[in-house]
Amino acid sequence: MRTILSGICLFIATIAFAQRECASPAYIDQLKSVDPSFTAKINEIENFVRRQKTARELEQAAPNVIVIPVVVHVLYKTPAQNISDEQIKSQIDALNRDFRRRNADTSNTPVRFKSLAADVQIEFALATADPKGRATTGIVRKATSVTRWNSDDKIKFSSQGGDDAWDSRYYLNFWVGDLGTLLGYSSQPGTAAEKDGVVINYTAFGTINVNAPYNLGRTATHEVGHWLGLRHIWGESYCGDDFVDDTPKQGNFTTGCPNTFRSSCGNGEMGDMYMNYMDFTNDACMNLFTNGQKQRMLSFFKESGARNLLLSSKGLNKPWLAESPVEMPVKTAFKFYPNPTSGELILDFEYNADWIGKSVSIVNINGTVVSKNQINSKMQQLNLSQLAPGMYFIQAENGMQKLRAKFIKL
């Protein structure tokens, strides 16, 4: 079974990905119980959206096309999870086709909905400058010891084996890793900055090396819709409200790939818009956002809107800062002190949080491991008072990188 809890929903799927079921109410309740201020923030944002002007005025106030800088954090334990640049770029291309309504399957939009279908005028591009102004491909790759991620946001933190977000006011962060049967989930406007972004399974990211029925990059299209403030088309409850005027009321989510007229909630001749990107149909059966959904997404870019600062992002500018070895030490470097030591040794992994969770060994001059400890923090303290005086080596390995350094025990 596949569940989407994105910002308010996430995807949980069976191996066959046969159907989906939304657990968003429970997720929202959890967020409220953990952080009551989150509810107030959501209400504040919704009030802001309601105050916005008409779609025509929104379109005139916004740039002709909004281009959002993207950074993709690839967290991998196996070579297969370290997806190629080509696969990543295929996802960016898919997002641009869907949001600009340049997807080939626009012809599948039913006649009754064609006048509602929108070119959202939002595009996505891999960042060319990182938050410090250094050159970047917009792709960050990190080896990890984590076997499988889930929806607890650990993938978003270096201290948990993941990778910290780039400033989410100015970048759309994607995290890609092995989520098992979880396809992905997203934050929504108002989420804490360090958790703001979209998480996608490496098996569902892009259109290369991805299996049907979710092989057209539309897991990300759906999740980015949530990231830009859209709700599911049925409004999270039976005949609920998705806060969009031109999407027909709909009884529930739709599974599979229907090809016949369906009607619910008294929506009459319009019927269910199950081909909308915010339903649960297969990728091949999704093909539109509506003008109303476009209006809602663009409203977040208005002055004081939750996504407004993206308009002033420098993430797509020419890099303005040269690479600095002082600011960005090489990944295999680490500090340790004091040396010599009388019994306590501090390992400093300030720039190497991806080592957290690994093991570090102390080896004597004969090559015998005399102590082994797990790295639990960026500042790891080792008690070596039991060691005899002499020369020793610190050793650690994660399959891709090795650490080795000598120290003296007094």
Domains and CATH numbers, the chain: 24-312 (3.40.390.10), 335-409 (2.60.40.3080)
The string of pLDDT tens digits covering residues 234-285 is 998 899 999 999 999 999 999 999 999 999 999 999 999 999 999 999 999 9
Alpha carbons within 13 angstroms on the beta-carbon side of residue 398 total 24
| pLDDT number for residue 29 | 61
Q: Work out the average pLDDT over 206-221.
A: 94
Cβ-based neighbours of 244, under 8 Å, separated by 6 or more? 230, 231, 290, 292, 293, 295, 296
User: pLDDT at residue 27 above 70?
Assistant: no
The pTM assigned to this predicted structure is: 0.76
Asked whether the beta carbons of 185 and 199 are under 8 A apart, the reply is yes
Number of H helices, E strands in the chain: 7, 13
* Residue for token pair 């792709």: 139
Provide the pairing of β-strand 198-201 with 172-177. Answer: parallel
So which residues are the catalytic ones? 223
Q: Work out the average pLDDT over 185-214.
A: 93
| pLDDT number for residue 337 | 77
User: pLDDT at residue 18 above 60?
Assistant: no
| pLDDT number for residue 12 | 37
Question: Within 10 Å of residue 159's Cβ, how many Cβ atoms?
Answer: 15
- How far is C-alpha 291 from the chain's CA centre? 25
Asked whether the beta carbons of 26 and 10 are under 8 A apart, the reply is no
The string of pLDDT tens digits covering residues 294-347 is 999 999 999 999 999 999 999 999 999 876 433 333 344 567 878 888 888 888
